[in-house]
Amino acid sequence: MNYWLIKSEPSVYSYDDLLRDKKTFWDGVRNYAARNYLRAMKKGDQAFYYHSNEGMEIVGIATVVKEAYQDPTTEDHNWVVVDVKPVKKLKRPVTLQDIKNEKSLSEMELVKNSRLSVQKVTPVAWEKILKMSE
């Protein structure tokens, strides 16, 4: 199983929106690196749900329920989406600042390449952030 981090601006689609909808397809990825990650996602993989711009924090966990398929919002075959559903909201959101303050997480793509909208998270970082959310 792999771990990921997916970003969304809460004003566009927040974690609460996902909780309300129960499931969504993750669209809007128009970056090749992020696209490749989407394609690598397997059913059952888990992903941190990160709010960019507003909040700037990981607020919840989502899981992949359907692997990459053609993005229904475009004819362009370069782009794919995955279906995700919520797992649970974190007890305490983990902010970007928290992550930056944590030395062992300084290698995260979230810190190093803040613009990438889909990122891979190592199992070690995953556990660490879970702990920080308690």
For residues 30 and 42, which CB has a smaller minimum distance to DNA in the complex? 30
CB of 130 to DNA, least distance (A): 20
Distances (CA, A) of 64 to 10, 44, 48, 68, 115: 20, 5, 11, 10, 22
Name the segment binding DNA (CB under 7 A); options: 26-34, 63-71, 81-89, 122-130. 26-34
Interface with DNA, residue 53, by CB under 7 A: yes
| Dihedral angle sign, alpha carbons of residues 104, 105, 109, 115 | negative
What is the spatial distance between Cα 49 and Cα 57, in angstroms, rounded to a whole number?
8
Q: Does 16 bind DNA (CB under 7 A)?
A: no
Stretch that binds DNA, among 48-56, 64-72, 81-89, 125-133 (CB under 7 A): 48-56
Least Å from the CB of residue 29 to DNA: 9
Supply 113's token pair: 């390449």
